[in-house]
Chain A
Amino acid sequence: MSVKVLYFASLRETLGYSHETLTLPESVSTIGALRGHLARRGGAWEALGEGRNVRAAINQEMVGPESAVADRDEIAFFPPVTGG
């Protein structure tokens, strides 16, 4: 399964990446699992770890950690929003 992952705002700056295309192992099938998978890269990526205040979207809709990830999804991670 291949997905596009986008990072925004302070998270983008912390990670030093705005986007990447990832091929996921079968064990990574939810947003929560994907966060864990990325956090295991270590260093700055631990910002995505469990308990960190990170929001997620799949195909531009806000979702929770249990949401399923599908092939070719556009996934985004970002801090809580501060518009308005």
Chain B
Amino acid sequence: MSVSVQEADFDVGAETAALSAGRLDVGAVVTFVGLVRADKLSGAGSEVSAMTLEHYPGMTEKSLEAIIAEAGGRWQLQGVRVIHRFGRLLPGDRIVFVGVASAHRGDAFAACEFIMDYLKTRAPFWKKEDTPEGGRWVDAREADDSAAARWMT
């Protein structure tokens, strides 16, 4: 189980391979990679030219570790890797990696989705988009809250 919060990009292939390296008890590795989209946002009608991610150093790492620990209490997991970038990112850049290794695919799929849903609502990151009209903070989406809430049963 490991967490990195970093400015640098990451190597998806190397991170994915590391989740099962030297282990014969892993039957499934599920990974998620989040990317910066060059959206046309509703109402604004302007392309995002770049994005800056701010975070709360210290709390960010703690919150990601807590989310992984919670996932580990719900599913049988052999390994979890979470990487989240901060700083200035361009459309097409990778933002986040979540990789989960488990004996069976069911646990790996569910845990990967759970970690992403919780990360979206609990990890202290904030996105600011650069547009031709200037910087604009991204509003939190209600859909993210409901995605996280469906795990609370």
Contact = CB atoms under 8 A, between A and B. Distances in A.
Most buried by B among A60, A78, A81: A81
Interface residues of A, number: 17
B42 to A, nearest CB: 16
Interface string B82-122: 00100000000001100000000000000000001001111
B interface, size bucket: 20 to 34
Interface in A1-59: 6, 8-10, 53, 57
B34 to A, nearest CB: 6
Contacts of A53: 140
Interface string A55-84: 001001110000000000000101111111
Contact of A62 (B63, B116, B141): B63
A57 B58 CA distance: 12
A1 to B, nearest CB: 21
A76 B125 contact: no
Given A80-B140, A81-B140, A83-B96, A9 B54 contact: yes
* Secondary structure dominating the interface of B: mixed
A79 B137 contact: yes
A83 B95 CA distance: 9
A83 B140 contact: no
Given A84-B34, A84-B95, A84-B116, A78 B126 contact: yes
A79 B58 contact: no
A8 B116 contact: no
B120 A84 contact: yes
Contacts of B95: 83-84
B122 A8 contact: no
Contacts of B125: 81-84
Contacts of A78: 56, 124, 126
Interface in B124-150: 124-128, 137-141, 144
